[in-house]
Every structure is written in C-alpha cells, then in structure tokens.
C-alpha cells in the first residue's frame, strides 16, 4: 500500500467512528483529538478497527504514535506496505 492508500484507510476508519464529523478538512500534523474530539473510547475503536481490518495489533505503548494523521501513517505504512489496498 502506498502512503496515500494508508492515509485513506485511516480516514475511512475515522469516518466510520465519527459519522457526524467532517473529516475532509483534517490536518495531518495537528493532533486528531484537537480536530475531531476523539476520546480514549474512540482511540480504542481505531485500534480495534485496525485489528479487525488488517489483523494489526497496536500495543498500548504505541498508542502515542496514533495521535496525528501523519503519525498514524508513518506507524502503519511499514506494517501495511506489503498489503494490497482493497478494491
């Protein structure tokens, strides 16, 4: 998967988790929770969605990497680079 595809995957997850939020204007380098009001319950959902969709386990010590969209991409891209994006 390319960086753009990984980015899209994360946006898809966020869109599912927060259906009322406008995710099109998310800035990659600002903390997600400052932009779309995510709490700890929602971060748990992101982690569980990654497990469900890609069988990726994010250990609790790594949660800090998911704070921004850019952080998510750089953390997940190495784990997803050999996968094909779903058609």
Least CB distance to other proteins at residue 74 (A): 25
Residues in 27-86 that interact with other proteins by CB under 8 A? 37, 39, 41-42, 44-45, 48, 51-52
Least CB distance to other proteins at residue 13 (A): 11
- Residue 49 in tokens: 């969605």
- Residue 66 in tokens: 């998911």
Task: Choose between 15 and 27: whose C-beta lies nearer to other proteins.
Answer: 15
Q: Which residues contact 39 (CB under 8 A, 6 or more apart)?
A: 33
Least CB distance to other proteins at residue 52 (A): 6
Q: Which residues contact 23 (CB under 8 A, 6 or more apart)?
A: 11, 14, 15, 36
Task: Choose between 48 and 85: whose C-beta lies nearer to other proteins.
Answer: 48
Q: Which residues contact 82 (CB under 8 A, 6 or more apart)?
A: none
Interaction of residue 5 with other proteins, rule CB under 8 A: no
């Amino acid at each position: 998967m390319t960086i753009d595809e990984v980015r899209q995957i994360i946006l898809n997850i966020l869109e599912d988790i927060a259906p009322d939020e406008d995710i099109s204007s998310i800035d990659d380098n600002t903390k997600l929770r400052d932009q779309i009001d995510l709490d700890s319950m929602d971060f748990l959902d992101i982690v569980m969605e990654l497990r469900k969709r890609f069988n990726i386990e994010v250990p609790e010590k790594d949660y800090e990497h998911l704070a921004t969209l850019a952080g998510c991409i750089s953390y997940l891209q190495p784990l997803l680079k050999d996968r094909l994006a779903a058609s």
